[in-house]
Amino acid sequence: MDLFDRLLTEFHASLAKVRNLQDLEAVRTQFLSRKGLLAESRKGFSFQTASPDERKEFGASFNDAKAAMEEAIEKRKGDLERTERRSQIREVDITLPGERPARGSLHPLTIVQSFIEDIFASLGFRVAEGFEIENDYYNFIALNIPEDHPAREMQDTFWLDNGMILRTHTSACQVRMMEQVKPPFRFIFPGRCFRYETIDASHENTFYQLEGLMVDRNVTVAHLIAVMKGLLSRVFGRDVMVRLRPGYFPFVEPGFELDIQCLICGGPGCSTCKHSGWVELLPCGMVHPNVLRFGGIDPDEWTGFAFGLGLTRLVMMRYGISDIRVLNSGDLRVMKQFAPSL
């Protein structure tokens, strides 16, 4: 069947000239489409006059030629696609800066917490954590807050079905630690606390505190003040005036509210300090002898101070955040504004 041999020779000659996928498609149309050269070849063959054998042979040759062309086209197509992909890779400009992987940012609470941890570490404090799910004993009783004590009402508590509670303050870490280590010791306990509060711009049911506890021989209020002043001057980057007012907390005696002179107006009074010139920041005091006893520590030999820094509050002051709800919102538009790393 010279006809098909000729056609195939022609076909391979055209295929050899193909340089890209468009060329290839043109060759395919030329030979294999419904009105292509292969289909046309049937016109030169008279089916009426041919014998059954001749018809069969023609059909077989036709199909062979068609299959051979299709196969050759598929193969060439694969080759072309491969080289095309390779040439695309070669076109990458390796002198361009790479794409940076997306990088998260730290929550402002994390930033402030690490900063404060570093300050206390330099003062010889160790960092520890207690439990967010606590029992009544460590959260209240061991802190000199027996059942029926009115102080329990100061802290609206989430009670769990099993009788445990969500800790209302990091003070719950105090006696747990006293049971584990012998004095002298210094610890801070940063952590999440929970209270059954109605949420608004200044109240959250979930917030962070940073508890401090130092127990040693002859620890006095002077040590407490020195550590607090040192802390605050480093947090705010300048010397701050502090004052102590008496404050009542069952687990300290005497107990204080430590105020700082308002950093906005510097003393004369403004709306931030409610025109008093002072901002309440740090409740603290000398550890109550009963609490030391609950922790197995002899109050005649050891004394200590404790404080409960409102970490969430400090973050809000530090960054001028006026709505506490922003901090727990998980809103990336807010979080992205903070440093990507320490």
Six token digits for residue 174? 């105090």
Considering CB under 6 A, how many residues would be counted as binding ligand DAH?
Answer: 12
Residue 122 has a CB neighbour count (10 Å cut-off) of 10
Binding span for ligand DAH by CB under 6 A among 183-191, 260-268, 306-314, 331-339: 306-314
Site for ligand DAH in 167-206 (CB under 6 A): 169, 171
Six token digits for residue 177? 């630690």
Name every residue whose Cβ is closer than 8 Å to that of residue 5 and which is 6 or more positions away in sequence. none
Q: Does 130 bind ligand DAH (CB under 6 A)?
A: no
| 11 versus 251: smaller Cβ distance to ligand DAH | 251
Binding span for ligand DAH by CB under 6 A among 2-10, 103-111, 180-188, 301-309: 301-309
Name every residue whose Cβ is closer than 8 Å to that of residue 202 and which is 6 or more positions away in sequence. 324
Binding mask 210-229 for ligand DAH (x = CB under 6 A): -x------------------
Q: Least Å distance between CB 251 and ligand DAH?
A: 6
Q: Least Å distance between CB 103 and ligand DAH?
A: 35
Q: Does 307 bind ligand DAH (CB under 6 A)?
A: yes
Strands 252-261 and 242-246: antiparallel
- Contact (CB, 8 A) for 303 and 217: yes
Q: Is the dihedral of CA 243, 318, 185, 143 positive or negative?
A: positive
C-alpha to C-alpha distance for 90 and 179, rounded to whole angstroms: 67
Binding span for ligand DAH by CB under 6 A among 24-32, 109-117, 159-167, 303-311: 303-311
Six token digits for residue 152? 């329990």
Residue nearest to ligand DAH (CB): 308
- Among 108, 130, 191, 285, contact with ligand DAH (rule: CB under 6 A): 285
| 73 versus 258: smaller Cβ distance to ligand DAH | 258
Please identify which residue in the block is written with the tokens 């300050």.
119
C-alpha to C-alpha distance for 5 and 67, rounded to whole angstroms: 13
Which residues contact ligand DAH by CB under 6 A? 169, 171, 211, 249, 252, 255, 283-285, 306-308
